[in-house]
């Protein structure tokens, strides 16, 4: 890299930090936190945790990559949410075992994931809708429905991935639950297609006793899909009003990615 190019990039970085002080501060603090956590993991030879730290650092660069390479402007508020989501999922959830310490940690993250994926889906439609180069014009309602469907599709694909990891690598990404009642037609004394409910007080498995029946991930999957649905609906409604009242609500503008002005001018 030449000195002139390096100087130009340093100038761009300084200008970006001045323009986006809050995002830059959050980004720096989270990166330092990950590095501080990763150092003892390296000395303890916990290579799985080291990999998660490296993966987190890479994921942190996604918003800036999208802005530089794809020329899509990620609003500061949305970028902060994305950075905190990555940190909460990988570092707090996996390394600090918040998934086990706080029962609703995973549920909260799936709701946020539904929200963020809807934002991405909506941005794709809105950018095409706002482009002069591409003949693509849809109503605000249709854009909101597309964003919702995109988010739900990503949620389903993620559940497929969790199921695949559990079956192939025995990872237990779909966390099990202990339940005390089971309803099934198998319990009907005459074998009829009528559900019967029984109470499960204890269950013994290989000498281990549990205070109920072990549900192998079904409830976890359905809860994840439901909160993903809620997050997708919330953002789809936000996106609908954003298109209807474009430029009139600063909060909505802070949540919707959009094409950079210089790229828009080139397309025009």
pLDDT in tens, 37-46: 999 999 999 9
Find the mean pLDDT for residues 13-33: 89
Q: Of 9-18, 54-63, 67-76, where does the model show the most confidence?
A: 54-63
User: What residue spans define the domains of the chain?
Assistant: 3-172+217-267, 177-215
Confidence of residue 175 (pLDDT cuts 50, 70, 90): confident
State yes or no: pLDDT of 248 exceeds 60: yes
Q: Average the pLDDT over 141-147 and give the result.
A: 91
Predicted local confidence at residue 135, as pLDDT: 54
Contact 78, 193 (CB under 8 A): no
Euclidean distance between CA atoms 49 and 112, whole angstroms: 24
Please check the confidence at residue 108 and state whether its pLDDT lies above 60.
yes
* Cα(24)–Cα(80) distance, integer angstroms: 9
> For residue 130, what pLDDT is reported?
67
Give the Å distances, CA to CA, from 207 to 202, 204, 213: 12, 6, 15
> What's the pTM value of the predicted model, to 2 decimals?
0.87
Q: What is the token pair recorded at 83? A: 């950075």
Give the number of other CB atoms < 10 A from CB of residue 182.
16
């Amino acid at each position: 890299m030449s000195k002139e190019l390096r100087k130009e990039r340093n100038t761009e970085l300084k200008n970006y930090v001045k323009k986006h002080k809050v995002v830059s501060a959050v980004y720096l603090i989270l990166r330092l936190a990950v590095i501080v956590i990763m150092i003892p993991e390296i000395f303890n030879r916990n290579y799985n945790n080291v990999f998660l730290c490296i993966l987190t650092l890479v994921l942190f660069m996604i918003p800036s990559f999208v802005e530089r390479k794809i020329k899509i402007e990620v609003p500061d508020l949305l970028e902060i949410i994305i950075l905190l989501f990555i940190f909460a999922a990988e570092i707090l959830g996996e390394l600090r075992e918040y998934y086990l310490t706080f029962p609703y940690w995973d549920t909260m993250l799936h709701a946020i994931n539904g929200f963020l994926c809807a934002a991405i889906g909506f941005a794709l439609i809105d950018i095409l809708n706002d482009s002069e180069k591409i003949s693509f014009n849809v109503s605000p309602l249709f854009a909101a429905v597309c964003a919702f469907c995109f988010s739900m599709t990503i949620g389903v694909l993620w559940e497929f991935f969790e199921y695949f990891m559990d079956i192939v690598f025995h990872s237990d990404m779909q966390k099990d639950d202990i339940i005390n009642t089971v309803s099934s037609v198998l319990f009907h004394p005459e074998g009829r297609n009528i559900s019967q409910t029984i109470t499960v007080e204890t269950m013994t498995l290989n000498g281990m006793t549990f205070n109920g029946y072990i549900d192998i991930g079904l409830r976890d999957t359905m809860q994840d899909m439901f909160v993903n649905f809620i997050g997708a609906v919330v953002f789809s409604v936000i996106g609908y009003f954003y298109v209807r009242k474009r430029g009139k609500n600063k909060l909505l503008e802070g949540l919707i990615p959009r094409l950079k002005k210089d790229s828009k001018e080139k397309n025009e």
